[in-house]
Structure 1
Amino acid sequence: MTTARDLMSTDVVAVDSADTLEVAARHMRDADVGSLPVIDGEGRVVGIITDRDIVVTALAEGRDPTAVTVGELIDATLITVAPEDSAEEVLAVMKEHQIRRVPVLDGTQLVGMLAQADIARAMSDATVGEFLESVSED
């Protein structure tokens, strides 16, 4: 059985909720990723910030990326999966919530991120096609 642990990326860079959007954007650039898990002052994952969040929600509204914090932008709803969750369970969660990436937590510990690219590399073309169609629905 393929699990989230088998699919996830483990070299995860996180950003603190108190960091500015500029800091988050630099982390994304340096890690060559489009999203980062957001942690609080105690190291708990509290959300995800995406490059789209920064551009569409902040920059397009004229907000200053050197003044706005990551915590001001993230959605309070956090969807996660566990490392031992099956690939089918992970896909079901991502489809249900129409999300393209999900943090993998072992208890409260961030152990990886699972993105649609990870799924595309590991799953069948039919599974990938169905997944992409379902998370792209309006």
Structure 2
Amino acid sequence: MAQHVRDIMTSDPVTVEPQTSVAQVARIMRDEDLGAVLVTDGDELRGLVTDRDLVVRSLCEGGDPEQTTVAGACSDDLVTVTPDEDLDHAVELMREHSVRRIPVVDHGHPVGIVSLGDLAMERDPESALGDISAARPNT
């Protein structure tokens, strides 16, 4: 069983700049089969945006998705972990902050994302969430 975040995190996360349009981020998510991307300013983590964020914080507001930037749709009050932290700590943070994904940072720079699905596949692969998380995309 993996003991550290680095053992199960998704490495080399997809990142976008804050001025990237919501439409472009949606296309990236579709093309890369992602549910979340990190928002960075240069090499500094500024936020995380999920497919749900795009809908709830942006599209439903009625703006032009080609003109609306991801800066207003992303979560910027982030909880982060380092690659060397224990998985138990990541689980505690997810519970405490009611989040499904946590950016992984090393010396302030984003290096990965750990998700609830990653944890389920590692800790309980026979669970419904572990089974769904391990399944191939149905796109």
TM-score w.r.t. structure 1 length?
0.85
Contact 1:94 1:102 in 2 (8 A): yes
Moved over 6 A (4+): 125-129
Aligned length, in residue pairs: 128
Q: Which runs of 5+ in 1 are unaligned?
A: 130-138
The alignment partner of 2:76 has SS state of: coil
The alignment partner of 1:99 has SS state of: coil
- Matching of residue 106 in structure 1 with residue 106 in structure 2: yes
- The offset of 1:58, in angstroms, is 1.4
Q: Which residue of structure 1 aligns with residue 3 of structure 2? A: 2
Contact 1:58 1:64 in 2 (8 A): no
Q: Which runs of 5+ in 2 are unaligned?
A: 130-139
Contact 2:37 2:49 in 1 (8 A): yes
**Separation in structure 1 between the aligned mates of residue 52 and residue 35 of structure 2, nearest angstrom:** 8
Identity of counterpart residues, as a percentage? Answer: 35
**Separation in structure 2 between the aligned mates of residue 106 and residue 57 of structure 1, nearest angstrom:** 29
Q: CA RMSD in A?
A: 2.0
Of 67-76 and 92-101, the range deviating more from structure 2: 67-76
TM-score w.r.t. structure 2 length?
0.84
Instruction: Letter of the 2:29 partner, please give it.
Output: M
Which structure shows the higher helix fraction?
1
- The offset of 1:96, in angstroms, is 0.6
Q: Kindly tell me: are residues 64 and 52 of structure 1, through their superposed partners in 2, closer, same or farther at Cα, counting changes over 3 Å?
A: same
